[in-house]
Structure 1
Amino acid sequence: MHADGDESVDALWTRCRATLRERVGTGSFQSWISPLRLASIEGGVATLTVPTAFLGSYVARNFQEAILAVLDEAGAPATRLIFTPQGRAIPQAATALAEAPAPAAHPEPAAAEETMRLDPRLTFDRFVVGKSNELAYAAARRIAEGNAVGFNPLFLHGGVGLGKTHLMQAIAHEMRARNPQARVLYLSAEQFMIRFVTALRDRKMMDFKQVFRAVDVLMVDDIQFIAGKDSTQEEFFHTFNALVDQGKQIVLTADRSPVEIAALEERVTSRLQSGLVVQVNPADYELRLGVLQSKVAVARAADPSLRIAEGVLDFLAARVTSNLRVLEGALTRLCAQASLVGREITLDLARDCLGDVLRASDRKVSVEEIQRKVAEHYHIRLADLIGPKRLRSFARPRQVAMYLAKTMTSRSLPDIGRRFGGRDHTTIIHGVRKIEELMGIDSQIADDLDLLRRALES
């Protein structure tokens, strides 16, 4: 190697590690840089040993430029990095699935490999925490640390684009970084069902059971997908029980809470509620702005010439409120547009480039749409919701729809009354006041309103 004087490789790497800790932050350093060891620098190639090929692949994608810059500053310039897990060299483009083989006594679930395709960007370091997701983040972090948590399963629920999948993948990344031999299986409920059906067809149920019951952590996304699929529910129930009995951790996500998932067996619903159920709420303005700032920091690291005028991020955070995925996509499109034309990102450019996104965010909810959503939520006909029948099963949903029409639209009370079968405006006032009264004493009404609002705003 070529370094200052006769400095050893270990001494050189100790100096580099200290600089890297300052530049990438303590969290990223502990998770990704600390496990690395510099083996040699020859011919402009720096060889680093890593505990797993996955970790090497992730570092190559996210920290290669930082490591090369620090080596150059330390007097040992290199043009590329090679990562060697346990004596085997692997290419920088190695798949995120590659990893060192586990001991024979604890075989990695072989058939599960294809379901573990993790996005290297979805880590805890890139998760922005706010009031709407701080409990979910804290619970996920506790599980990822590998210590006893006192709740099983962790059930995260909320609308699309709020970070549930990000947290699940962050758990997998963190656990594999801390313990490369950990058997962590992440898949969607649809994948679980497909593999179950395939095992039945091919008469390989024993193999299926062995794979899913030999893991240390099982994470299933969108568990609401198995509702109404009786055989899949039953197998999931038995898998759930087997893992809990062994003290293994389970993490699940859904678009609604367990009790709101229709066509789910009571025993399954009961099991899903037996641990910690956490709702991930829509992001508030501060969190949306924090996500944008975090994404801009990443974009500037890749393109230092990126220029964003003052007020643009505030504008986007205030206008794009549907979900974080749409918000991030809007910023990505804006950065690409600015890069292609070589312009600063200004408010005018944002308005021109994101016209369709901004128009969608400004979409006004109609009384008719509220009526359809409420009828669908309570499983009644639209005609009965609007009609004259005074049965409680129709009257209460009707009052909920009246309340939402009053609070979510700019329609006048007489106009709303006309859209509810020609009712007088005093009837609308009575319905609104009744719901306002019930909201404080009936948690089910409060939950229904929250769910309906989110569905109408998304």
Structure 2
Amino acid sequence: MTGVLPVKENDDSDKRQGVWNEIKQMMRSSYGEDIYSSWFERLEYAGFAGGVVTLSTPTQFIKHWNQNNYGNDILKRWQSSDKAIEEVRFAVRSFPLKKADSGSASAPHKSGQAQTAATAPRRQIDPPSAPANSAAGLEGSALEPRYTFTEFVEGPSNALAVAAGKKVAFAQPGERIQYNPLYVSAPVGLGKTHLLQAVAQAALAKNPNMRVLYLTSETFMYKFVSAMRNKTTLTFKDIVRDIDMLVIDDLQFLNGARVQEEFGHTITSLLDAQRQVVIAADRAPADLDGLETRISSRLGGGLVVELEVPDYAMRRKILDRRIATQRAQFDDLDFPDDVVDFVARSVTTNGRDLEGAVNRLVAHNQLTAQPINIKMAENALRDLLRARETKKPKIEDIQRVVSQHYGVSKQDLVSARRTRTIVMPRQIAMFLSKILTPRSLPEIGRRFGNRDHTTVLHAVRKIDGLLEKDAQLAEDIETLKRLLDQ
């Protein structure tokens, strides 16, 4: 497996890989989809030797976070299946990335290698272990080669974001920057990472000498903290602020006063110098808890676009694309149309779950020789179907659905406007946020324009009181609930 640490395996490799797959699903059930996708999804089984299981992680930050927060839990789950396990270790897997050479543009990458930093000459940071006369380029997070615009499934739910991303990626040299920063928000699994990496890869393909740096917020934090520890902060600042395009993914994980301060200065410096900035997070800038107001204001000053849950037609397109990929690998694969329809109508959460559903059904078919049919799908995908039954909407989802239903904008819902056409939908959205989400009154108030919790309480009580005597309102509430459940 590309990028996995070489760990000596003594025996039962396939068995332990299967155990790890089961443990990951248990972690998903125990901790929920958000925590799973953030911390466990990218952990990979790397090997077993001398009673020690090694799991590889994509970043140092995820390694330390799992060690400190989930290491004991993972060890207990391993030991419940295999008494030979004495310890679980985490190690950062290496990615064969091309370093920039001092004084010349980088040579073309070998097939299968991901290019994440500028190919133009750049100043470099000395790693802690390197001699004083040695330097290594500041490398970004690994890019997935298949995350391109060609492989991105477009539809009504992401059309604006894709159009903006292409405009940024294919901009002509010297062309006036129109969308800066470009900020993409969406819940887990709707394509934020795919879109950002497509922008980065398209920009590099169009202009190989363009200095593009793609980083997750975790990697940005780790590299900045490492620079402070090794007293190379000024060099780090010089490099990051001297690039042409900075692409930051998963901004919601950015924390720490010093890190946020440096990030804010970096963004300001790049924007003032007319350098392109592209950001993605699971919420809009104003909704990111803990993010400095100065930063969220600067990010909100650009183009903020939202990726929404795909509709049925788009889910079919995603499934057709994934099934075609599987058929290229398995010539005799029979994936009946009624099963495709069943999956498209049943797995409504996000594109990642749709891809996982296809992979799971094909694996069952190839490993057991059982035909793919509705019965198999119901059994193999029962956790995804159950997730649909128990999923809770987010405040952002409620604001979107309410604004569409009543013909007002999401900005109106969080504004200070107090006309009746705005106040009633706002109070309904607050009411639904209280009864359908676990969020507290103060947090709901913050999501609705930093209102006091007493304002939210008043809205909840008012709507609750009106439901008994206003049949139309009661019908509207039930309609909104059904829309949120789709």
TM-score range, shorter chain: 0.5 to 0.7
* Counterpart-to-counterpart distance in 1, 2:108 and 2:221: 37
Paired AA for residue 96 in structure 1: A
| Deviations 1:395-443 (CA, angstroms, capped at 9, x unpaired) | 224567x5xxxxxxxxxxxxxxxxxxxxxxx5543699779999xxxxx
Structure 1 SS opposite 2:138: helix
Distance 1:392 1:304, change over 3 A: same
TM-score by length of 1: 0.62
Q: CA shift at 1:373, angstroms?
A: 2.4
TM-score by length of 2: 0.59
* Counterpart-to-counterpart distance in 1, 2:228 and 2:439: 39
Indicate conservation of the 8 Å contact 1:153/1:276, yes or no.
yes
Which of 440, 452, 457 is the equivalent residue of 1:394? 457
Identity %, equivalent residues: 36
Distance 1:315 1:142, change over 3 A: same
Instruction: Give the match for residue 363 of structure 1.
Output: 390
Distance 1:237 1:309, change over 3 A: same
Instruction: Give the match for residue 427 of structure 2.
Output: none
Structure 2 SS opposite 1:379: helix
Asked whether 1:96 is paired with 2:114, we answer: yes
Indicate conservation of the 8 Å contact 1:375/1:397, yes or no.
no
Paired AA for residue 194 in structure 1: Y
Instruction: Give the match for residue 118 of structure 1.
Output: 143
Structure 2 SS opposite 1:311: helix
Alignment of 1:181-192 (within 5 A): 181-192=209-220
Distance 1:356 1:153, change over 3 A: same
Indicate conservation of the 8 Å contact 1:156/1:279, yes or no.
yes
Q: CA shift at 1:316, angstroms?
A: 0.4
Indicate conservation of the 8 Å contact 1:399/1:432, yes or no.
no
Which of 186, 199, 223 is the equivalent residue of 1:158? 186
* Counterpart-to-counterpart distance in 2, 1:380 and 1:396: 11
Which of 238, 255, 276 is the equivalent residue of 1:249? 276
* Counterpart-to-counterpart distance in 1, 2:444 and 2:163: 39
Structure 1 SS opposite 2:183: strand
* Counterpart-to-counterpart distance in 2, 1:120 and 1:150: 27
Indicate conservation of the 8 Å contact 1:102/1:108, yes or no.
no
Q: CA shift at 1:352, angstroms?
A: 2.3
* Counterpart-to-counterpart distance in 2, 1:237 and 1:245: 12
Which of 182, 186, 199 is the equivalent residue of 1:171? 199
Paired AA for residue 119 in structure 1: E
| Deviations 1:156-194 (CA, angstroms, capped at 9, x unpaired) | 001110011100011122122222222111111122122
Indicate conservation of the 8 Å contact 1:111/1:211, yes or no.
no
Larger radius of gyration: 1
Alignment of 1:198-217 (within 5 A): 198-217=226-245
Indicate conservation of the 8 Å contact 1:320/1:326, yes or no.
yes
Alignment of 1:71-90 (within 5 A): none
Instruction: Give the match for residue 140 of structure 1.
Output: 165
Alignment of 1:227-246 (within 5 A): 229-246=256-273
Question: What root-mean-square deviation, in Å, do the aligned CA atoms of Structure 1 and Structure 2 show?
Answer: 3.7
Paired AA for residue 358 in structure 1: L
Instruction: Give the match for residue 468 of structure 2.
Output: 429
Q: CA shift at 1:97, angstroms?
A: 3.7
* Counterpart-to-counterpart distance in 2, 1:89 and 1:279: 34
Distance 1:305 1:245, change over 3 A: same
Alignment of 1:182-331 (within 5 A): 182-226=210-254, 229-331=256-358
Q: CA shift at 1:95, angstroms?
A: 2.7
Instruction: Give the match for residue 46 of structure 1.
Output: none
Q: CA shift at 1:111, angstroms?
A: 4.2
* Counterpart-to-counterpart distance in 2, 1:431 and 1:395: 18
* Counterpart-to-counterpart distance in 2, 1:117 and 1:318: 34
User: Which runs of no fewer than 5 residues in structure 2 stay unpaired?
Assistant: 1-104, 126-135, 394-430, 446-452
Structure 2 SS opposite 1:218: strand
Paired AA for residue 240 in structure 1: I
Distance 1:399 1:299, change over 3 A: farther
Q: CA shift at 1:348, angstroms?
A: 2.0
Instruction: Give the match for residue 77 of structure 2.
Output: none
Indicate conservation of the 8 Å contact 2:120/2:210, yes or no.
no
Paired AA for residue 280 in structure 1: L
* Counterpart-to-counterpart distance in 1, 2:246 and 2:230: 23
Distance 1:317 1:91, change over 3 A: same
Distance 1:140 1:297, change over 3 A: same
Paired AA for residue 216 in structure 1: D
* Counterpart-to-counterpart distance in 2, 1:252 and 1:323: 20
| Deviations 1:64-97 (CA, angstroms, capped at 9, x unpaired) | xxxxxxxxxxxxxxxxxxxxxx9989865x5324
Distance 1:177 1:379, change over 3 A: closer
Paired AA for residue 459 in structure 2: R
Structure 2 SS opposite 1:362: helix
Instruction: Give the match for residue 71 of structure 2.
Output: none
Which of 375, 379, 382 is the equivalent residue of 2:443? 379
Distance 1:310 1:207, change over 3 A: same
Indicate conservation of the 8 Å contact 1:220/1:251, yes or no.
yes
Q: CA shift at 1:216, angstroms?
A: 1.2
Deviates more, 1:156-165 or 1:426-435: 426-435
* Counterpart-to-counterpart distance in 2, 1:157 and 1:399: 32
Q: CA shift at 1:319, angstroms?
A: 0.3
Distance 1:87 1:258, change over 3 A: closer
Distance 1:153 1:325, change over 3 A: same
Indicate conservation of the 8 Å contact 1:218/1:249, yes or no.
yes
* Counterpart-to-counterpart distance in 1, 2:436 and 2:391: 15
* Counterpart-to-counterpart distance in 2, 1:436 and 1:231: 50
* Counterpart-to-counterpart distance in 1, 2:270 and 2:180: 10
Q: CA shift at 1:108, angstroms?
A: 7.7
Indicate conservation of the 8 Å contact 1:162/1:324, yes or no.
yes
Distance 1:139 1:430, change over 3 A: farther
Indicate conservation of the 8 Å contact 1:378/1:397, yes or no.
no
Distance 1:185 1:315, change over 3 A: same
